[in-house]
Structure 1
Amino acid sequence: MPVRRLATLWRLGRAFVRESHVTHASDNGASMTRVARFFASHGARAAPLGAGVPALSQLSRVLENASDALASHPALAETAVRVALAELDGLFTPYDAPRFRAACKAAFPATLAFELAELSDTPLRSGVAEQTHRARIGDIPVRITLLRADARAELDDDLALALAAARFAERRSPKAREMHPVEWVRRARESVDAMIDLRQRAADQSYLRFRLREDKRLAVPEVLWDYCNDAVLTTREIETVALSDAAGIASCGLDQADVVATLIEAFFEMALGVGLYHAGLDAAGARVSVEGQTRGQIVLEADNPMMIFAAHEREFLVGVSHALMEGDHKAAARAHLEHGRPETNATHHEVRVEATYRREAERFASPHARRNVGVAHLFGAIGRAPAEHMFSEAHGRIASRAVMLSRSAERIERMAQELAPGVDVWKIARKVVLRLAADQFSLRNLAARFAHEATHWPHTLPRLPALIAKRAAASQDTHGTVFR
């Protein structure tokens, strides 16, 4: 390892150790914030050594924003880092058009001959280590997202350096081990890697286009797989205007309030029904198609962050949302305990879980109680209970998803208040939740569950006699113990 890089590692490791010794129970993540700020200043101070951490000097803002959630609830790390990254315009200065064109040419194989015409001078969007431009390939208007090799290398190098420093600190100090810096930096690295995986993003976009092919409210651009690889993602371009552009929307014969209501309904149905979070339905990046066939539809571009929820996470969010709005805290507690029960002091913890949901249900069970709270508070309440009573890994993931939805719902409510004050976000959200909750017990859904469970029968049925015999033997042993 070069001496200069070793000096940088030593300084970072000592920073972790030093900050861990000033940690107190009341800090609530303050030491993590100080370490993140150290990264920011260290990048500049180490520059003369030629071994600075330029990526971390920008990424420190992400780590600082996420530090509170990471320190108090490490299971929320994925969402905390993703939210903080999404709120940045980009960590690196984007390429200009000529450099972008040259990088695209280098990223594609030599056998793929095509002309990249009408390339936009400035990026449409800049991400963590990527940028998206408008262009044309032949007669096809496209959006091209390029993962910059130099930026990716800097991220990999600097995060590897931070991880090595965290390991050094944990070996040197017991107090540093209590701060869990290795887990903190590793989760940040995993989140960054997931966000810039362009092949996975292209696959998710194709799935989304197939899944929503009959939904007339949403338009999903086609992925052009011939022009995609690990470094480049290419999709057809749909001409759009920003949802916030009242004049542009009106010039196309669309009503802005109707489009806002459509976005709100689609957001809740996508998250709770389909089980997919897409930043294109977030207030900040929402855009509306102005082309003939898709006019008025909200466009979900592939260069926006996307996350898929598991079926049990989606069902939990729907079930607990419905239970809280109906004031049924017992149903919410039952749903919570279905995803994991405490190993010790079970009765004590179950009472606390029910008390937590009772407290939250009182805020949403009536129109009067909901007067001063928004839908974002509902998702915040749904995430708070699994974070407080985290009996299983599933609870951590559910809390993480709920926190992310709460942040997005907060921005959507703010946008609706500014653009369309007459749109009632609560009314739309309640309608969607009631419909999805009723659908969970519909004949169609029960048939789908039956078909899904039937696929496991060939593996379960042959084991059934052995399981019954084992259960009977265990029962006999228990009775024998009692009567001795």
Structure 2
Amino acid sequence: MSLLRLHQITKTFLNYGLDELLPDSKKPWYGKLVRSSLFWMRNQHKDKPTGARLRLALQSLGPVWIKFGQMLSTRRDLLPHEVALELALLQDKVPPFDSEQAQTLIEKALEIDNIHQYFIEFEQTPLASASIAQVHAAKLQIADEIKDVVIKVIRPDIEKQILADLSLMERFAKLVANLFNEGKRLRPVEVVREYRKTLLDELDLMREAANAIQLRRNFEGSDSLYIPEVYSDLSRKNVLVMERIYGIPVSDTDALLEQGTNMKLLAERGVEVFFTQVFRDSFFHADMHPGNIFVSRENPHNPQYIGIDCGIVGTLNREDKRYLAENFIAFFNRDYRQVAQLHVDSGWVPADTCVEEFEFAIRTVCEPIFNKPLAEISFGHVLVNLFNTARRFNMEVQPQLVLLQKTLLYVEGLGRQLYPQLDLWKTAKPFLEQWVQDQVGPIAVAKKLYANLPFWAEKMPELPDLIYQSLKRPVPHTVTQQQYNSAKPILLGIAASTFALLAGLCFVEEKAVASGLFAFTSIVSFLFAWRKTG
């Protein structure tokens, strides 16, 4: 099976002339031998550019390779722009598999004899069919209520096919890494491994269900984004049951205009939803292409997005969020020195990087971009250019930042499609500035202290013993009485501040016992500081 598939892939690559992308000096002797012996398979599409030939080759190889091409289309840091644009045209649509087989898979997953035990109706004709799964409409009865739902079911035996193709991909990736001078920069093995994880995650629909539930909770009651309800008790690893939605595809601008949708507000809300997911929730839908986004038909003057297919999500830790927000703001203000310094401080580039050289490189790339009006500048492409420049200084883009870059490109493209005059910078800057202020201001400090209150309460019983043991310790001979006296105001200030802060937090909690313990500990700390400095 593997040898037959390898032969098919090799034949396809030769038919589309992809072997010509590899310089003759880098081709091993056995590669040249294979090519000469299979002369009849040579490039049969010489009239087409490289990107188009690559797209057609991947398309002919089937679902796994199509999705790989789609992923590569978002890696503008690895591919020439024209090739990335061609790969973005790949469509993940394949013929549906037998509906009776789909019904059998659902029944087996739910451990029932007949699908009508749960669903009073089940439509045999699928609503959609993709490389990993297909979707059927159904009606679910819950108590006295009938719900319109969709059932997503994984294709039979798809995992076996995926694993076989992934194994071959890894072999090709190692070959490219060894033969190309830029193998280290392109990191083909790491790219394939990243794709492997993403693809295998998509095979687990319980993961998608959990992601959808989290996103729905994050936007509960929001006018901006709606996530359909997931029926987790009827979902399994290969079956997902969720609420059916009847929105307008976001790509159908004619239908949106016909119903009087406020396109400017809709475009701006797409930007706000993205930044809210990234910076408020640290949990963002990372597959926001037009096929996964709809617009509610209700209240077109106050339009609401509907998001589906939550199989791929991204997360950022607190440090990444802060540095990313500060980077964006520095870009808004054209403070390239700050951008360079932030990259060093965050560890995204090595600590020994020359900040002045890095600043100059960023300025060289970005100043021509900023010569245009802000409304015409692509936020996503600025980020791509930033990562490309940083890579010259040995920055290795982390997976979460790659997902962020990909999603931002989707969001920006979608926003400009809906409302060409969208000024993404103007929409995003106030949000980012407010977020940074919330993270570093006094209120943020108070919230962090309040969040740590349970930890302090847990450690409280140990403090009297620790203080008593410290009081019994002799004064170190290396420290003079004059040094103690000099430190006295500082220690007293710390003790008094601690007392006031902890007492205030206790009163917020309105717990008399805790207040008493905190007050007692603070007083003891005060006396301890007085004794040490006296």
- With the length of structure 2 as denominator, give the TM-score of the two structures: 0.63
Seen in structure 2, the aligned counterparts of structure 1 residues 448 and 283 have a Cα distance that, compared at 3 Å, is farther
Please give the alpha-carbon distance, in whole angstroms, between the structure 1 residues aligned to 2:140 and 2:287.
24
Please give the alpha-carbon distance, in whole angstroms, between the structure 1 residues aligned to 2:245 and 2:258.
17
* 1:331 aligns to 2:331 (yes or no): no
* 1:212 aligns to 2:215 (yes or no): no
Cα deviation digits, residues 176-228 of structure 1 (max 9, x gap): 89856654543332221123331111111111111111422211212101111
Seen in structure 2, the aligned counterparts of structure 1 residues 165 and 133 have a Cα distance that, compared at 3 Å, is same
The amino acid of 2:439's aligned partner reads Q
The equivalent residue for 1:45 is none
The amino acid of 1:426's aligned partner reads W
Cα deviation digits, residues 344-397 of structure 1 (max 9, x gap): 8x254x33322233335535768x553652223333234334433344x6x433
The amino acid of 1:415's aligned partner reads Q
Cα deviation digits, residues 373-430 of structure 1 (max 9, x gap): 2223333234334433344x6x4336514531342144224413xxx34544332233
The amino acid of 2:104's aligned partner reads A
Question: Which one has more relative contact order, counting CA pairs under 8 Å at least 6 apart?
Answer: 1
* 1:105 aligns to 2:104 (yes or no): no
Please give the alpha-carbon distance, in whole angstroms, between the structure 2 residues aligned to 1:24 and 1:335.
43
What count of residue pairs does the alignment treat as equivalent? 419
Q: Percent of counterpart pairs with the same letter?
A: 18
Please give the alpha-carbon distance, in whole angstroms, between the structure 2 residues aligned to 1:69 and 1:246.
24
Seen in structure 2, the aligned counterparts of structure 1 residues 351 and 116 have a Cα distance that, compared at 3 Å, is farther
Contact 1:276 1:308 survives alignment (8 Å)? yes
What's the CA shift for 1:333? Answer: 1.8
Question: Over alpha carbons, which structure has the higher Rg?
Answer: 2
Cα deviation digits, residues 79-125 of structure 1 (max 9, x gap): x99x999864436422354443333223322289312515272324x
SS in 1 for 2:440: coil
SS in 1 for 2:137: strand
* 1:159 aligns to 2:166 (yes or no): yes
The equivalent residue for 1:474 is none
Please give the alpha-carbon distance, in whole angstroms, between the structure 2 residues aligned to 1:99 and 1:286.
29
The amino acid of 2:139's aligned partner reads R
* 1:130 aligns to 2:137 (yes or no): no
Please give the alpha-carbon distance, in whole angstroms, between the structure 2 residues aligned to 1:232 and 1:84.
33
Contact 2:327 2:342 survives alignment (8 Å)? yes
Contact 1:377 1:406 survives alignment (8 Å)? no
The equivalent residue for 1:354 is 359
* 1:288 aligns to 2:288 (yes or no): no
The equivalent residue for 1:427 is 426
What's the CA shift for 1:232? Answer: 0.9
Please give the alpha-carbon distance, in whole angstroms, between the structure 2 residues aligned to 1:117 and 1:371.
49
The equivalent residue for 1:384 is 388
Seen in structure 2, the aligned counterparts of structure 1 residues 198 and 378 have a Cα distance that, compared at 3 Å, is same
The amino acid of 2:236's aligned partner reads N
What's the CA shift for 1:442? Answer: 3.2
The equivalent residue for 1:318 is 325
Contact 2:77 2:384 survives alignment (8 Å)? no
Query: Please, which of 199, 212, 215 is the counterpart of residue 206 of structure 2?
Result: 199
The equivalent residue for 2:482 is none
Contact 1:375 1:409 survives alignment (8 Å)? no
**Alignment RMSD:** 4.8
Residue segments in structure 1 that go unaligned for 5+ positions in a row? 43-52, 75-79, 463-484
Contact 1:254 1:296 survives alignment (8 Å)? yes
SS in 2 for 1:149: coil
The equivalent residue for 1:233 is 240
Matches within 5 A, 1:257-276: 257-276=264-283
Please give the alpha-carbon distance, in whole angstroms, between the structure 1 residues aligned to 2:160 and 2:120.
26
Seen in structure 2, the aligned counterparts of structure 1 residues 197 and 325 have a Cα distance that, compared at 3 Å, is same
Cα deviation digits, residues 20-56 of structure 1 (max 9, x gap): 99458999xxx9xxx9xx9xx99xxxxxxxxxx9995
Matches within 5 A, 1:15-54: 22-23=22-23
Please give the alpha-carbon distance, in whole angstroms, between the structure 2 residues aligned to 1:84 and 1:204.
30
Query: Please, which of 367, 370, 377 is the counterpart of residue 374 of structure 2?
Result: 370
Seen in structure 2, the aligned counterparts of structure 1 residues 127 and 429 have a Cα distance that, compared at 3 Å, is farther
Query: Please, which of 292, 296, 316 is the counterpart of residue 309 of structure 1?
Result: 316
SS in 1 for 2:135: strand
Seen in structure 2, the aligned counterparts of structure 1 residues 433 and 214 have a Cα distance that, compared at 3 Å, is same
